[in-house]
Structure formats: C-alpha cells, structure tokens
Amino acid sequence: MNPMSRIVRTVTRYLYPFVILFGFYIIIHGHLTPGGGFQGGAVIASAFAMVIVAFGSKHVDRWYSEEKFSVVESSGLLAFVTLAFLGIGVMFFYNFLANGRSTSLPWLFGDITSGINSGALNTAGTIPLMNIAVGLEVLAGLGAIVYMMFHGREA
C-alpha cells in the first residue's frame, strides 16, 4: 500500500505520541478509572494502525517488525502468568502486595485504600502490574495482527 498524502502523514506524526500517551494513561490508571490493560492496549494498537495506514506498509518496516511485536507480546503474557503464580502460597491469583500485606515490598503499589476513590495511584498491589502486563500483550498482539495483515495484501 502506498503512503497517503502529506497532510495525513503530518497529522499522524503529531497525533501519534498523544495517542500512545493516552493508551498508557488508560493502562496505568486501570485500578482507579474505567479502562485497563485490554482497553489501553487496543488504543495503542490503533495508533500503530494509524501509522501503518498513513505511511504505507513498506515504509513502516524501519520502525516495526514481527520479531519486536512477538517479543513484547510473549513477555507480557509471561509476566501475567508469573504474577499470578507468585501468590500461589495462598492461592492462584492471590493479591499478595495490596493494602500493605507484603513486608518486603511495601512501596510497590502497597498503600492502604480507604474511603471513596481518592485517585491514589500507588495502591491495589498486583492489579496495576497485571494491567501493565496485559496491556503490553494486547498492544503488541493487535499491532502484530494489523502489521501482518497489511503485509499480506502485497504478497
């Protein structure tokens, strides 16, 4: 697919960092506001799709590759399963960091929550970490699907 017009490419170039930033905001605030790993990852993958459409699939080979996407995707899923298994002392998916339960890592999302939503980011234990892991998996997975499908058209 050929690149689109200069106007589209310029708008894409300015919009790209803001879409990525918004996606990471949704991922990181998953335990406070609506959204989470899946939704934020889909937003970031849509930024990848925007760049691929605007610049043409041959042109984006400088930035994206199947290897990069698959490495990020696999490490996201591995981190998610590892976090789930870390709580196996009590049960699978036990939240061992929340509300100051951990004595060795109290600074890692371990603040105690109380009252209505005060917007404290450093809470909820493993949930933000799992959000980040799932977010990485979804952004790389959907990005890889879009990237590979655009390449398949030219074959």
- Least Å distance, CB 74 to other proteins, is 8
Residue 102: C-alpha distances to residues 25, 50, 94, 95, 121 (Å): 26, 42, 12, 10, 17
Nearest 10 degrees: CA dihedral of 103, 88, 82, 47? -90
Cα–Cα distance between 84 and 78 in angstroms, integer? Answer: 10
- Least Å distance, CB 151 to other proteins, is 6
Q: Does the footprint of other proteins cover residue 85 (CB under 8 A)? A: no
- 116-155 binders of other proteins (CB under 8 A): 116-118, 120, 123-127, 130-131, 134, 137-138, 141-142, 144-145, 148-149, 151-152, 155
To 5 degrees, how large is the angle CA 92–CA 111–CA 44? Answer: 70
Look up residue 112 and give its DSSP letter.
P
Binding string, 2-41, against other proteins, x = CB under 8 A?
----------------------------xxxxx-x-x---
CA atoms within 13 A on the CB side of 128: 20
Q: Rule CB under 8 A: choose which of 77, 86, 96, 102 binds other proteins.
A: 77
Say how many residues touch other proteins, by CB under 8 A. 47
CB 123 within 8 A of CB 113: yes
Per CB under 8 A, residues contacting other proteins are 30-34, 36, 38, 66, 70, 73, 77, 80-81, 84, 92-93, 95, 98-99, 109, 111-114, 116-118, 120, 123-127, 130-131, 134, 137-138, 141-142, 144-145, 148-149, 151-152, 155
